[in-house]
Amino acid sequence: MINRIRDIRREKGLTLADVAARCSPQTTAQTIGRLETGTRQLSLTWMNRIAAALAVDPELLVRSEMAETPRYVARLTADGAEALSAPRDAILPSALAGDGDLLALAIEAPAGQYRAGDQVWLRRVAPPDHARLLNRDVLAPRSGGRFAFGRMIDRDESRVAILPPDPGQRQVVVENPAWLAVAEMLVRAL
């Protein structure tokens, strides 16, 4: 079995020592390195400790040697479904291109076009670029650890106005948001 500890650790900008210090109980950078390279067996206990240290689900740390990238094999046109001349790799949320951190929003109750169980993948955008997000669905941090989500309908230098997805709701004004995250991909289970 191949593990993804190194990939995830590097994505998060952490060193071996950082991960070792975040483990509970703490361990050494050498131990984490041995687990990454497979010179030490990754037990379920180690997998759970390292996953907690990296703040990810444990199953993200392992991948099958036989795992293939999901592929597009057909497309749906006005004339119906048809085969692609050459299958190509599917776009996965982890492969979204662009600057800024990726965030995910879990939809637990229906809201507008969103259904319970949907995942919305968003890209964090710095304040100088907020103007380009007008009329896009955004997530904005608010005071007290809360968020506002919906269509950004107005902005000026110090505030943004967001219209929640459910019809009939009033706009939410967020003063001086540190960042906004714009919706880039909707993942919906069928």
Q: Is the domain of 32 the same as that of 105? A: no
pLDDT for 70: 65
Question: What is the predicted pLDDT for the residue at 171?
Answer: 93
Residue with the two structure tokens 């995250």: 181
Q: Are strands 147-155 and 137-141 parallel, antiparallel or unpaired?
A: antiparallel
Q: How many domains does the chain have?
A: 2
Distance CA 66, CA 55 (A): 26
Q: Which domain holds residue 59?
A: 2-63
Q: Tally Cβ neighbours within 10 Å of residue 177.
A: 21
User: Greater confidence, 60 or 98?
Assistant: 60
| Highest-pLDDT range among 4-13, 90-99, 171-180 | 171-180
Examine residue 100 and state whether it is found in any structural domain, yes or no: yes
Whether 72 is covered by a domain: the verdict is: no
Segment 75-126, tens digit of pLDDT: 767 777 677 777 766 666 655 666 777 888 888 888 899 998 888 888 888 8
Alpha-carbon distance 140 to 181, whole Å? 7
| 6 pLDDT above the threshold of 70 | yes
Alpha-carbon span 152 to 134, nearest angstrom: 5
Looking at residue 66, its pLDDT comes to: 47
Q: What is the pLDDT of residues 118-175, one digit of tens each?
A: 888 888 888 888 889 999 999 999 888 889 999 999 998 889 999 999 888 899 999 9
Q: CA Rg, the chain, in Å? A: 21
Q: Is the pLDDT higher at 190 or at 91? A: 190
Q: What is the DSSP string of 80-100?
A: EEEEEEEEEEPP-GGG--SSS
Statement to judge: residues 103 and 158 lie in one domain: yes
Confidence at residue 136, expressed as pLDDT on a 0 to 100 scale: 95
Asked whether residue 103 falls in the same domain as residue 179, the answer is yes
Element (DSSP H or E) covering residue 44: helix 44-54
> Among 11, 45, 63, which residue terminates a domain?
63
Residue 152: what pLDDT?
Answer: 95
Could you tell me the two tokens for 139?
């997530």
CB 47 within 8 A of CB 4: no
pLDDT tens, residue by residue, 65-74: 445 566 666 7
